[in-house]
Amino acid sequence: MSKSKPASMLIFTYLICFTLQLISPLFSGYGTVYAAPELPEVAADSYLLADLKTGRVFMSKDINTPQVPASLTKIMTLFIAFDEIAQGNLSFDDEVSISEDAWRIGGSKMFLLVGTKAKVSELIQGITVASGNDACVALAEHISGSVTSFVDRMNRQAQLLGLTNTHFVDPHGLSDENKISAWDLFNLVNAYITRYPEALQFHALKEFTYTPPGENPITQFNRNRLLWSYPGVYGLKTGFTSRAGFNLVALAERDGFSTIAIIFGSARGKSIDEGERERTVLATSMLDYLYKNFSYVQVAEPNANIGKVRVWKGKGKWVEGIAPSGLGANVEKGKEDSLSYELIFDKELEAPVHRGMKIGEAVFTCDGEEVGRMDLIAKDEVPRGNIFRVIWDSIARSILKALGKA
């Protein structure tokens, strides 16, 4: 008995060690394929990092708390300007008279001269590149007759877009009474670049030269340093006041992966050069985190037919659904084969259906977890049918509902 005890203990010890060796990777992380990536530290009052196509949020802080936007206010000013162009009320070649109020405004300028005229295209570049407050006043007066009327329109547009934590008091952002949350800003930017993609060419400009009548050319450079330092960045806007700190909306795309990074209230109290450098470093760390740890998986090409949807009371019975930016979502690297999606169409779709109207959505999941949604829109118009079609479809739908088939 005394000799068998050590032998049994030896065997028992060996089994314990062998078992621990097998299961230790589960606890130590060694060999784990899908270890959660470590989030970068972002020293800012509020921030948001999201996928532009599906709206998936990867990291955020206080995204529903109103912040001081500073020159990010100008995104709404540009939204309205491009809306006017889309409606045919304004063109890039239109000449805008420069008032004394526009000339006198403080802060960043494109250096417009009172009594002169500038083209709308020049004013837009003056806003996107030089962040010209004078250009904002000139555009506001030209579009709405006065700055006050233009600001009223800015706030009406905010309501139409469902921006519940937003309020504007000027078209340029000089006042710290302007307010917008990171989530509202995400939705504003998304609507802006979706409706008016032609605006992006102006935001991607690294420099702009304006020559006031009778004066020497003035060249100014974009304050968004990421346009030079980060491959794939193509916009969108920076902002700064002493109270707001250093703000930024950065747009980037790599291999179909479209990203938005929003920063409010960074580097407060720093010099302009130090603040811009710190803001750039923070945005770089956010974008690096995303592109190093996640991949975009495309399942359908842009504008490909996704599926047909029944249209009730229409001249036609069906409308094709498409995804303008393509169908796809982002997953952690290594999980690309685990992405799946479900198409959910509006079963109560009635004519008239307008081209570009939302008629459903794609819901993406990975390992049972939702990782994003994408709108599906109508490819074509389906006008209202005649009275006989309306009556027939009303009867047919009532019967199908009674039978539990609609």
What pLDDT, on a 0 to 100 scale, did the predictor assign at position 2?
Answer: 40
What pLDDT, on a 0 to 100 scale, did the predictor assign at position 320?
Answer: 93
Fold of 301-402: Peptidoglycan synthesis regulatory factor (PBP3), Domain 2 (2.60.410)
pLDDT band at residue 31, thresholds of 50, 70 and 90? very low
What pLDDT, on a 0 to 100 scale, did the predictor assign at position 123?
Answer: 98
Average confidence score pLDDT of the chain: 90
On the question of pLDDT at 47 being above 60, the answer is: yes
Cβ pair 90, 120 in contact under 8 A? yes
What pLDDT, on a 0 to 100 scale, did the predictor assign at position 372?
Answer: 92
The catalytic residues are: 71, 74, 131
On the question of pLDDT at 382 being above 60, the answer is: yes
Q: Looking up tokens 């974009």, which residue turns up?
A: 222
In the chain, count of helices (H) and strands (E)?
Answer: 11, 18
Examine domains 46-295 and 301-402 and report if their fold is the same. Answer: no
pLDDT band at residue 388, thresholds of 50, 70 and 90? confident
User: How does pLDDT run across 78-136, given as a tens digit for each residue?
Assistant: 999 999 999 999 999 999 999 999 999 999 999 999 999 999 999 999 999 999 999 99
On the question of pLDDT at 29 being above 50, the answer is: no
What pLDDT, on a 0 to 100 scale, did the predictor assign at position 406?
Answer: 62
pLDDT band at residue 25, thresholds of 50, 70 and 90? very low
Domain at 46-295: CATH architecture: 3-Layer(aba) Sandwich (3.40)
What gap in Å lies between CA 402 and CA 363, rounded to an integer? 29
266 vs 133, 220, 222, 240, 287, CA distance in Å? Answer: 22, 24, 19, 10, 16
What gap in Å lies between CA 213 and CA 377, rounded to an integer? 47
What gap in Å lies between CA 129 and CA 139, rounded to an integer? 15
User: How does pLDDT run across 331-377, given as a tens digit for each residue?
Assistant: 999 999 999 999 999 989 999 999 989 999 999 999 999 999 999 99
Mean pLDDT of 29-36: 38
Mean pLDDT of 224-243: 97
User: How does pLDDT run across 256-273, given as a tens digit for each residue?
Assistant: 899 999 999 999 999 999
Q: Which of 35-39, 155-159, 182-186, 333-337 has the lowest mean pLDDT?
A: 35-39
pLDDT band at residue 36, thresholds of 50, 70 and 90? low
157 vs 77, 79, 170, 201, 325, CA distance in Å? Answer: 10, 9, 14, 23, 25
42 vs 45, 46, 106, 274, CA distance in Å? Answer: 9, 9, 31, 16
Mean pLDDT of 230-241: 96
**Per-domain residue ranges of the chain:** 46-295, 301-402
What gap in Å lies between CA 397 and CA 246, rounded to an integer? 56
What gap in Å lies between CA 94 and CA 30, rounded to an integer? 64
Q: Which residues are CB-neighbours of 140 under 8 A, at least 6 positions away?
A: 77, 146, 147, 150, 151, 171
Cβ pair 161, 112 in contact under 8 A? no
397 vs 34, 307, 345, CA distance in Å? Answer: 48, 21, 16
Q: Looking up tokens 């060419």, which residue turns up?
A: 201
What pLDDT, on a 0 to 100 scale, did the predictor assign at position 115?
Answer: 95
Helix/strand/coil for 76: helix
Q: What is the DSSP letter of 301?
A: -
On the question of pLDDT at 30 being above 70, the answer is: no
pTM value?
Answer: 0.85
Cβ pair 238, 279 in contact under 8 A? yes
pLDDT band at residue 5, thresholds of 50, 70 and 90? very low
What gap in Å lies between CA 153 and CA 140, rounded to an integer? 10
Residue 211 token pair = 């020559």
User: How does pLDDT run across 284-317, given as a tens digit for each residue?
Assistant: 999 999 999 999 999 999 888 898 999 999 898 9
- Classify residue 339 as left (phi > 0), alpha (psi -120 to 50) or beta: beta
Burial class (CB in 10 A: 0-12, 13-18, 19+), 68: buried
Other Cβ atoms closer than 10 A to 387: 9
